[in-house]
Chain A
Amino acid sequence: MDQELLLRVKELRTHFYTDAGVIKAAEGVNLEIRIGETLGVVGESGSGKSVAAMSIMRLIPMPPGKIVSGEVMFDGKDLLKASEDDLMRIRGNDIAMIFQDPMTSLNPVLTVGEQIMEAIMLHLKAGRTEAKKKAVEMLKRVGIPEAEVRIDNYPHQFSGGMRQRVMIAMALSCNPKLLIADEPTTALDVTIQAQILDLMNDLKRESGTAIMLITHDLGIVAELCQRVLVMYAGNTVEYTDVVSLFTKPMHPYTWGLLRSLPKLDVWAKQRLEPIQGHPPDLRNLPQGCNFAQRCNHKKPICEQQKPTWLEIEPGHFVSCFLYEEEGKRHD
C-alpha cells in the first residue's frame, strides 16, 4: 500500500432491503484519499455519494441497510472488519463528519459549548475546564466573534452560516486525519458559502486534515479539490486529478455533466446540452452499464456486461467499455 495513502475503498457494495425491493445504493465504489488531500465526490442525487460516506463510517442503519461486500482500508485497518469499540475510537477522533443541514445535526436543547466539549472530553480525555478552553479556541479558529459568550448560546441563536462554523469547529476539535463533509454549503447563500469554503481551505492548510468533500457543484470541486471521484447510480465511474477531470474527462457521463453546466464566462447565447433521460431505478438496475440507456457512445456490450474499474492512465480510473482494450485491469 502506498505510504501516503490514508483511505482506500475497494468494490464497496451497500444495499437497502425494503418492502419495495432491494435498493442497490452503492454498487461498486472505489476510491483513494491520500494524507492531507481533498477528494471531491460528485454525482446527482441518488448516485450513492452519501451512502458511500456513511458506509466508510459504518453509520448505515442496519437493518434495512447492509454493507454486502468490499474493503475500507483506513490507516492500515479494514473498517468493515473493525469491532464496535474500535469504531467508537475512530469516529470523531480519526474521522469526523459534517452534514448539509447543521440544524438537524446539532442538538437543540444543549448549548453549542456543551456539544463541542462532549467530543473533546470523550476523545481527548480532557477535563471540563480544559475542554471548555479548547472549545472556545476552536470557535475562535472558525471565526465566531465573541466566542467566550457565544459558547453558552443554543443552536437556534446562530445563523445558518454560523451553525456550519460550529459544526466545523466540533469536527476539527479532535484533529481528525479525515474529515468527511457531506454537502457542507448546499443550504447556504453564495456569499456565506464563499466564507465557509475559504475557512475550510485555511483550516486544511493549517491542520493537514484530508477532506472527502461531497458536493454536486463542479465549481466547488474545481476550487477546493485535488482529486475528483464521479459517481452515477451507485457506481464510481471516474476518478482522477482535478485538472484532468476538466481538461480530458473520459467517461461519457462526465462529458455530459460538464456540457450541461451553464457557463459564466461565455457571452454568446448558447444552448445547454443536457443528458437525455433519467437515472435508472436503483431497485431495478440494468444488466449492463448503468449509464448505457442515456449514453450516446454505447456499444452492444454496454447493455450486456458491467464495465470494470480500469486505470487508463496513471492515476486516472474509468469504468467504461470505450477504454476496455487500451486500459490495463486494476487489481
Chain B
Amino acid sequence: MIETKKTTETLLKVENLKKYFPIKKGIAVQRYVGDLKAVDGVSFEIRRGETLGLVGESGCGKSTIGRVILRLLEPSKGKVIFEGKVLNELSHEEMRQMRSQMQMIFQDSYASLNPRMRVGDIIAEPILIQGVSSRAEREKRVCKILDVVGLSPYHGARYPHEFSGGQRQRIGIARALALNPKLIICDEPVSALDLSIQAQLINLLEDLQKEYHLTYLFIAHDLSVVKHISDRVAVMYLGKIAELANSEELYKNPQHPYTIALLSAIPVPDPTVKKDRIILKGDVPSPVNPPSGCRFHTRCPKVQSICKEQDPNFRDIGNDHFVACHLV
C-alpha cells in the first residue's frame, strides 16, 4: 500500500541537474581534454517527511548529487530548489544559513570526524556557529542529542578513535541533528557496518525521522536496505535516473531493464528459492565517453536500434512511476 500519511508537498526539487568534472592533461601547461559527466541531466523532487532512496552502482553519480544539493560542489547546469528558494542563486552567507536546514551523514564516519576534537566539541561546533554563545546551554543541548542517538553524556568527553564504527556513525548522526535540520542527506550511512549494527542504525534513523519530522535522501548501493527504509526509490545508471517509483511499485513491478537486472542480481537469503538471474554482460562504460542514445544500451538484454540513437525521455507511466526507456 502507498502510505497516504506522507505529504505530497515538495521540500526539495532538482531540475535538470548536471555536474561535469573537467579532465585536464599535461604537466606544465594543463589542457582541457574532455568532461567526466558524473551527473548528466537529473530531475526529481523530495517530498516533506519522506525518504527518497537513491541507488546505483559505483560511479553512477549518486554521491555527486548529494554534494551538489548541499552546494559542496557547484552544479555545471540546472537548479536545486529548497522550499521555493533556488539554492544556486544564494550568496555564500545566505547559503551558510541555509545549510543549518540541510545536513549530511557520510559513509566513513572515521574520516568525517576530526580526530583531534572531543565528541562533545564536534557536536557543539555547529551549535556555536549558529550563535548559541552560552557554554552551559550548548552542553545541555549536546547531552540531549547524545541521548537521542543512543550514547551517554560521558561519551562527549572522548575522542572519535575510542568508539566502534557503529558508535561513530551515531556521532555523525548527532552532529547532523544538532541544528534541527529539515533534510538529511545520508550518503551510504550503514554500508561500512556489520549486519547487526547496521540494523540498529536503520532503526535509529527511522525513529529520528518520526520524532523530528525529518526528510531523508538515502544514498546507498544495497537494494535491500534501500527498500526497507525508503518511501520512493530512484535508480541511477551512469549519471542519469533510469527509473523512479514508489518503493513497493519499483520492487514489485520494475520496468527499466536495468532495474530488472539489478533486482535479479541480489542474492536472496533463502536457500529454497531458486531464481532466474539476469547476468549483465561487461562493465559499466566510462562516464567520460558515455554511450550514445540510451546509456544502458551496451549492456541491455532487450536493446533495439532506436536505443543506440535516441536518448529516451524520463516520463511518467502513471501511478507516480517514472521510467527512461524506449520499450516501456
Contacts and interface: CB of A to CB of B under 8 A. Distances in A.
A30 B85 CA distance: 62
Contacts of A220: 267
Contacts of B58: 189
Interface stretch (A116-124, A128-136, A193-201): A193-201
A109 interface: no
A93 B229 CA distance: 47
Nearest to A258: B269
A161 to B, nearest CB: 6
Contact of A195 (B194, B196, B280): B280
Contact of B199 (A193, A197, A224, A273): A273
Given A222-B269, A264-B266, A190 B223 contact: yes
Interface in B263-309: 263-273, 277, 279-280, 283-284
Contacts of A216: 194-195
B266 A191 contact: no
B266 A278 contact: no
A206 to B, nearest CB: 17
Contacts of B228: 262-263, 270, 272
A213 to B, nearest CB: 12
B262 interface: yes
Interface in A207-262: 216-224, 242-243, 245-246, 256-258, 260-262
A297 to B, nearest CB: 16
B227 A195 contact: no
Interface in A247-299: 256-258, 260-265, 267, 269-276, 278
Nearest to B165: A45
Name B's interface SS: helix
Contacts of B283: 159, 161-162, 192
Interface residues of A, number: 46
A264 B279 contact: no
B320 interface: no
A189 B279 CA distance: 12
B206 A271 contact: yes
Contacts of A223: 267-268, 271
A218 B269 contact: yes
Contact of A257 (B195, B224, B225, B268): B195
A44 interface: yes
A126 to B, nearest CB: 32
A261 to B, nearest CB: 6
Interface residues of B, number: 43
A274 B271 contact: no
A190 B266 contact: yes
Contact of B194 (A44, A221, A242, A269): A44
Nearest to A194: B265
B268 A190 contact: no
A198 B195 contact: no
Interface string A43-84: 011000000000000000000000000000000000000000
A191 B262 contact: yes
B98 interface: no
A189 B57 contact: yes
Contact of B269 (A162, A261, A271): A261
A219 B199 contact: no
A161 B203 CA distance: 33
A238 to B, nearest CB: 15
A267 B228 CA distance: 9
Smallest CB-CB A-B distances: 10 pairs: A219-B267, A274-B199, A260-B199, A44-B194, A262-B228, A194-B265, A189-B57, A275-B196, A272-B199, A218-B269
Interface of B: 3, 57-58, 164, 166-167, 194-200, 202-203, 206, 221, 223-225, 227-228, 248, 251-252, 261-273, 277, 279-280, 283-284
